[in-house]
Amino acid sequence: MIHLLAEYCRREKILAEPGFGTKFVRWAICCGADGQYTGLVPLCEVGAKRGQEFRCCPEISRVDAFAGGVTRSSFLVDRADVVLLLSKEPSDSKLIKKHDFFLNMLRQASSAQPSLRAAADLLSSPKSLAAIRAECAEQNVKPGDVVTLSIEGELPLNGDGWHDWWRKYRLGFSMQKAKAASTRKVVAGTLQYCFVTGELALPERIHLPIGGLGDVGGNRMGGDVLIGFDKESFNSFGFKRGRNAAVSRDGAVAYRAGLNKLLETSVRVGNARVVFWFKDRVEDAENPLLALLGGRTRGDDLAARQRAIDFLRSVQTGRVRPLEGNRYYALTLSGQKGRVMVRGWMEGSFESLASAIANWFADLQIRSLNGDSCAPPPSLGRLSDDCLSLRSQQATDRKQTDDERRRLSEPLLYSALTGACLSNVLPLRILACLRSELPSMEGQHGDDPLRANRFAVLRAYLVRFYRERRDISMSDAITSALNPALPSAAYHCGRVLAILAALQKRALGAVGAGVIQRYYASASTSPGLVFGRLIKNAQYHIEKLGPDKSGYLESLLAQTMTCVSPKGFPQVLSLQEQGLFGLGYYHQIADLNDSDAPQEETASDESAN
């Protein structure tokens, strides 16, 4: 996996030089050529979570920051508490040492870029620091915000005048470390085979953190390490730190740069982020994973997904040949306690991916609730959100909701990429949502429990369940819209309940607790116990409406009853039959929504004549 990340870094020509990295900066401290303070400039929009991106910033590892007993800071860009002593405890000795080191680095670098001397003069003046801190308080600058310097309107980070000086500084520092190490006892087998390059190299002792996982449990400020051995229990065979998983410095920089770049365009699914890439570059309009996971920007999310789906259909029909020999890679990540958690890793051929995702969207196709068209193709994140209950989404325990979202999204992703049957967790969750939410749907939630995406997942589960058991006649009969010929008593029981609810609504109007609110939960599990009473009550509704207004629904009820079973309503329904019950209920409502209005008009016209 890390070898492929390093290959991606080289292919995309991402800067992967030790000592350089990408940082997001929120503020610029401005001064003139004479070192006089001229103001504080924000480098990002108000309320933005991240600052302006700079791809070539000086970077110092955590090992180098305290090596040799010297407390070091970064160069040119660092936290506000280091650069400005902006802290609740400005007398902190460690903070003062970092601040002094930052100033000393600016003075040394001024030999290569003279303008940096003005910045050093600015930050060494107590009067100027007091003025900057006062404006920081007005602008609500936090000690952890990353800041840089602007000299006469120019940001040194945008130039390269300091690059060679920084390389020489790091080279000299590395030589000092090597000299110090040579005075110690040399341990046999210091060189190890690098997991990335496969060559003998000195392993990187501590790896730099990965950014971009702050919204899925990661550390928003410092990032999270992918390879780390900071506890004794993580060490084996007497190895210390990075020697437990040997990766050279060049390899560590390459895989980190590649993963950081991919995380910038990753897609959040549940409580994790999915990064995906290909062996050979693929355009967005031909990217099956983009169709599955959703667009990278909200504005063109549906449009980009639809273009990719059209491409998949072209591949299926043979009008377009995919890139032969291309492969896909998908990595699911989250963060926990400063570590990158690898939730899943999948890879395969481009052809198999395109076929699997095309079949996924075909199995997910469902008629919209208004009955006039199919629901738009949903992204994976939208599906996992819609499978959650309304109550869990409104819960105060955010961690519990995120864990539930992750448990739902992982089987969805696996099934979509492999074509496997969906986990039983999904229908269990959807059916539980329907039983708990439908009784309250007359309130503020309206028809929210009947979200099309829920029934799309339910249909995909059932289609794949029967297909896996090679019951092709059954899997083909579970269509996206109403199918009166579907050979399932449970499916038609759901249809009967929808028709009874429509009869009651037409006869009595809005009632406090109707058929659905009172009987859906029991009817969907034990229809034989409740449908006798419901059919009897329906006769009163039919008599009240009269033949003109109840004719169509009465006829539809009679036709549907003949489809249930000669033996009557089933006593108990299995999990799959409960899913068919819910699907039949939804299909019948969608069909009534599409056909009910014209029929009412026809009935009114006939009575008028």
User: What is the spatial distance between Cα 371 and Cα 24, in angstroms, rounded to a whole number?
Assistant: 48
pLDDT single digits (tens) 181-202 = 444 444 445 788 888 888 888 8
Could you give the 3-state DSSP secondary structure of residue 284?
Answer: helix
Tell me which of 8-12, 224-228, 314-318 is least confident.
314-318
Residue 235, pLDDT score = 77
User: What is the spatial distance between Cα 166 and Cα 160, in angstroms, rounded to a whole number?
Assistant: 10
Q: Is the pLDDT of residue 337 over 90?
A: no
pLDDT single digits (tens) 546-568 = 776 667 888 888 888 888 877 78
User: What is the spatial distance between Cα 495 and Cα 499, in angstroms, rounded to a whole number?
Assistant: 6
What is the percentage of the chain residues whose pLDDT exceeds 90?
23
Output 233 or 459, whichever has higher pLDDT: 459
Tell me which of 92-96, 114-118, 370-374, 554-558 is least confident.
370-374
Residue 103 burial class via C-beta count within 10 angstroms: exposed 0-12, middle 13-18, buried 19 and up:
middle
Strand partners, 334: 341
pLDDT-based confidence at 206, cuts 50/70/90?
Answer: confident
- Angle 343-349-354 from CA coordinates, rounded to 5°: 90
Residue 44, pLDDT score = 82
Residue 61, pLDDT score = 66
Q: Are 400 and 392 in contact (CB under 8 A)?
A: yes
User: What is the spatial distance between Cα 355 and Cα 376, in angstroms, rounded to a whole number?
Assistant: 20
pLDDT-based confidence at 69, cuts 50/70/90?
Answer: low
User: What is the spatial distance between Cα 74 and Cα 98, in angstroms, rounded to a whole number?
Assistant: 8
Tokens for 394, please give them.
Answer: 């409104």
pLDDT-based confidence at 8, cuts 50/70/90?
Answer: confident
How is residue 210 annotated by DSSP?
B
Distances (CA, A) of 224 to 66, 217, 335: 19, 10, 7
pLDDT single digits (tens) 476-490 = 999 999 999 999 999
pLDDT single digits (tens) 426-437 = 899 888 888 888
pLDDT-based confidence at 31, cuts 50/70/90?
Answer: very high
Which secondary-structure segment (H or E) carries 38? strand 37-42
